[in-house]
Structure 1
Amino acid sequence: MNQMISRRALLGGLAMGGAAGLMPRAALAWKADGAVLYPATHAFIKAFVDKRQLAGTLAAIGKGQAAANFFGAGTLAMNSSTPVGPDTLWRLYSMTKPVTGIAAMLLIEEGKMRLDQPIADFLPDFAKMKVQVTPDGSLTDVRPAQTQITVRQLLTHTAGFGYNIIQKGPIREAYNRNGLVGGQVSRLPVPGMPPITPAPSLKVFADRLATLPLVYEPGSRWSYSLSLDLLGRVIEVASGQAFDAFLKTRIFDPLGMKSTGFQVAQKDVGRLSTNYFPLGPALVPIDPAAASIYLDPPPMPYGGGGLVSSARDYDRFLAMLLGEGETGRVRIMKRETARLAMSNLLDDKIDRRGTFVEGEGFGAGGRVSLPGSPTGEGVFGWGGAAGTIGFVDRTRGYRVGGYTQYMPAEALPFQRDFPKAFYKDVLR
């Protein structure tokens, strides 16, 4: 039975380990000009390998539409001799969300859905939702929602849904019981998590989610949630095409993202990294590459956290964003659509206190920096549960990716401090 991501795990990461002694000290995996051009970033990611805190780390940084610089340290696993590189496969988890957001924007551009259109136009079961009177409280003490859930709200985590990795009490139990989860972690038992049988398709996922109350009134609060997974089902209905097929046809194939998908082919297992759980000084392999859960067909294509990709592939996606819909003479969306996707789609009245985006904006599946942000405005992107991070800085003209594999992401400061190291180089 698949074990699904735990509360801490999807917020950050998970692991188990023991083979740290097999890791060659400071194994240099890939060294291009980037190590010289971005010395603070290189020193930052290399230190995790030097200290045997991580098996492998990689940075991918590109300026404008020029070729990216890939540089890193370490190997695919603690007991591997294969260095990480541009074509290593990483579990993206929530870095999937901006991809799903862009997919929705393609349909908005074509007029097949509208940004502020009620999702009940596509999924009628969501027409008359109930809302918990007390968030995370009783499932029966509910009231009718005052407004309809819209596409914008799914894109921006303001539809009122929750996550089994965040919510508590009866609603979390109901999510687990119905298999309403946002990703998968391992074939192995996950400590502290009950066995969960995931919903077997996006349709079933949506049908089950519609029977449960919302945690918050739509449009009232930013609540990290299953909304991007549900958006995958809306995309299916609006496009008349399976969600994973839509991504492949409209985004991956045109951009040349040949290593990106919801499953890893057996022929590619030699490129797949191992995912770890830091346990004190040891790293415990929670999803070893050779036995990875990603070798199996997923229960459904998780639009909020299901993709596996390479740094080279995801850089193509970021290059398209930085090119406002175009890269390599391939345009997949209009310039104005791309700009809208990377703009702040949140109304000022949305409560963001105590959330991941307090003091920030949010666009089509990713955080948007504002004029008062530490970097200033122009940054769009998001991170993943296994420590990865990807963003574009439209003001300065950079596209940036940081890659490694450990859960929860907050167990080590890689994801948190990677942007700080990058900006040390850029702003020095």
Structure 2
Amino acid sequence: MEGIAKVQNINLPRRKLVVAAAIGGLLKLLPSNAFAQIASQGAGSQWDRAAAFDAAIDKIISSQKIVGLTVVAAKSGHVVYERTAGFGDREAKRVVGPNEIYRIASMTKALVCVTGLSFIEKGKLSLEDPVSKWLPYFMPKTQDGKQPVITIRHLMTHTAGLTYGFLEPEDGIYHKLGVSDGLDNGELTLEENLRRLASAPLLYEPGTSWGYSLAIDVLGGVIEQVAQASLQDAVKTTITDPLGLDSLKFSVPKGTVVATAYADSQTPPVRMTDSFRFKFGKGAIVYSPSRAFNNKAFPSGGVGMVGTARDYLKFVETIRMGGGRIITPKSAAAFTTNALGDLPMSMGGPGFGWGLGVAVLKDPSAAGLRLGPGSWNWSGVYGTNFWVDPVAELSVVALTNTAIGGMAGSLPGDLRHAAYNG
């Protein structure tokens, strides 16, 4: 426990940082007219939930269930909380830095879907376009041999009939075909991976069910064709450059300091190796942390990006406030509004639906949550999560380096309890 005590002493609640962010850093939060207007209104008082957030973070770090983390929150357009705790590299005794870069895994999906929406509103792409219009080779069949039309809408809503390899048994068809989930560190091209995926039978007729899947990797392939550029460049041009989000990338140069990845398969969590198998449901997630430094690995639209909590907060706050410089308010609303009707989700629990890139809270009572209706969120298997409550005008991003506890352990629930309970 001596090491844990040292970490807690180094990472005391960062009050000065919070105040600085609220007063001066806000001007850098989002370079849009909307945020410039809010910045001119002043920072307001210190957030009244900061102490509760501190307690939740102290609890998870002292339990040794999470190795290191960064939590940042914005309320009504102001950064009201930012805290780092624990180790970015436990073995080297390197504490989490103020601009720690994390592997954000499936939180990548939101950025790629917003990139797709930007092309749709420009008339370069349509939700009703068949995927085969852009990827002629991508025409998978159902298990009874039919060849249905898969649209861009099906991809964005995870209703295309696809799945992930880690969601099937380890002798499943995706494994037999060598389909990559985007987490390993091979040098397979995106096209080759999508061709392998297209040769697997669909799980169901597109549009008839919801199934979390490689659909956003397929969308990434479509975006490359529409943009006539790599997915990295398309996201950069559409989102990260306009908002100044320099840390959000599909790969970084070797030597860049990135939070070391750990797995909470035991306590304390173990340091991941390449490649690291983590038992998950019927199968296993295969992680290769070194992929973050491999610029030859294909850009996985589903799980491939890295970045800082602050930059991701800027992104979600842009969407919460109507799209800023990157998409229109209409597109931002479509992104964050349930697009499934009454079609149930197999993840997220009761009360949730899915928009055009994120989970959407339809019924807080059914979900047992105090979040406002229309709140939206998602997470990542490297141990990351975020949520946005448009009613409370609250956005929270919590990035950890511990899989899967930062995603599915007690931390997300503890932070939400801290945010809403007096």
Deviations 1:208-255 (A, max 9, x none): 222221111101111111001111001111222211110111111111
Is 1:299 the counterpart of 2:300 in the alignment?
no
Q: In 2, are the aligned partners of 1:159 and 1:217 still within 8 Å (CA)?
A: yes
Aligned positions, number:
372
**Equivalent residue for 2:340?**
346
Specify the SS of the correspondent of 1:144.
coil
**Equivalent residue for 1:44?**
56
1:35 CA displacement: 8.2
How far apart in 1 are the matches of 2:378 and 2:194? 24
Specify the SS of the correspondent of 1:162.
coil
1:387 CA displacement: 1.7
* Matching residue within 13, 18, 26 for 2:8: 26
**Equivalent residue for 1:415?**
412
* Matching residue within 247, 260, 266 for 2:235: 247
How far apart in 2 are the matches of 1:55 and 1:169? 29
1:109 CA displacement: 0.6
Q: Residues 334 and 279 from structure 1, CA distance in 2 versus in 1: closer, same or farther, beyond 3 angstroms?
A: closer
**Equivalent residue for 1:355?**
347
Could you list the runs of 5+ residues in structure 1 that have no partner in the other structure?
1-19, 133-141, 188-197
How far apart in 1 are the matches of 2:297 and 2:7? 39
Q: In 2, are the aligned partners of 1:22 and 1:79 still within 8 Å (CA)?
A: no
Q: Residues 233 and 68 from structure 1, CA distance in 2 versus in 1: closer, same or farther, beyond 3 angstroms?
A: farther
User: Cα RMSD between the aligned structures?
Assistant: 2.4
1:264 CA displacement: 2.3
Task: Tell me which amino acid in the other structure corresponds to 1:258.
Answer: D
How far apart in 2 are the matches of 1:35 and 1:47? 20
How far apart in 2 are the matches of 1:119 and 1:217? 15
1:345 CA displacement: 1.3
1:323-402 to 2 correspondence within 5 Å? 323-326=321-324, 331-348=325-342, 350-352=343-345, 354-372=346-364, 373=367, 374=369, 375-402=371-398
Q: Residues 67 and 26 from structure 1, CA distance in 2 versus in 1: closer, same or farther, beyond 3 angstroms?
A: closer
Is 1:217 the counterpart of 2:223 in the alignment?
no
Specify the SS of the correspondent of 2:60.
helix
How far apart in 1 are the matches of 2:160 and 2:208? 8
Q: In 2, are the aligned partners of 1:64 and 1:319 still within 8 Å (CA)?
A: no
Is 1:130 the counterpart of 2:141 in the alignment?
yes
**Equivalent residue for 1:144?**
146
* Matching residue within 235, 241, 257 for 2:223: 235
**Equivalent residue for 2:315?**
317
Q: In 1, are the aligned partners of 2:161 and 2:205 still within 8 Å (CA)?
A: yes
Deviates most, 339-348 or 102-111: 339-348
How far apart in 2 are the matches of 1:415 and 1:223? 23
* Matching residue within 60, 63, 71 for 2:83: 71
**Equivalent residue for 1:58?**
70
**Equivalent residue for 2:259?**
273
Is 1:406 the counterpart of 2:398 in the alignment?
no
Specify the SS of the correspondent of 1:71.
strand
How far apart in 1 are the matches of 2:361 and 2:377? 9
Q: Residues 231 and 199 from structure 1, CA distance in 2 versus in 1: closer, same or farther, beyond 3 angstroms?
A: farther
How far apart in 2 are the matches of 1:199 and 1:391? 33
Give TM-score, length-normalised by structure 2: 0.81
Q: Residues 200 and 385 from structure 1, CA distance in 2 versus in 1: closer, same or farther, beyond 3 angstroms?
A: same
Identity %: 30
Task: Tell me which amino acid in the other structure corresponds to 2:410.
Answer: P
How far apart in 2 are the matches of 1:422 and 1:227? 33
Specify the SS of the correspondent of 1:282.
coil
How far apart in 2 are the matches of 1:296 and 1:339? 35
1:357 CA displacement: 5.0
1:404 CA displacement: 1.0
1:199 CA displacement: 6.5
Specify the SS of the correspondent of 1:381.
strand
1:97 CA displacement: 0.9
Could you list the runs of 5+ residues in structure 2 that have no partner in the other structure?
19-45, 275-288
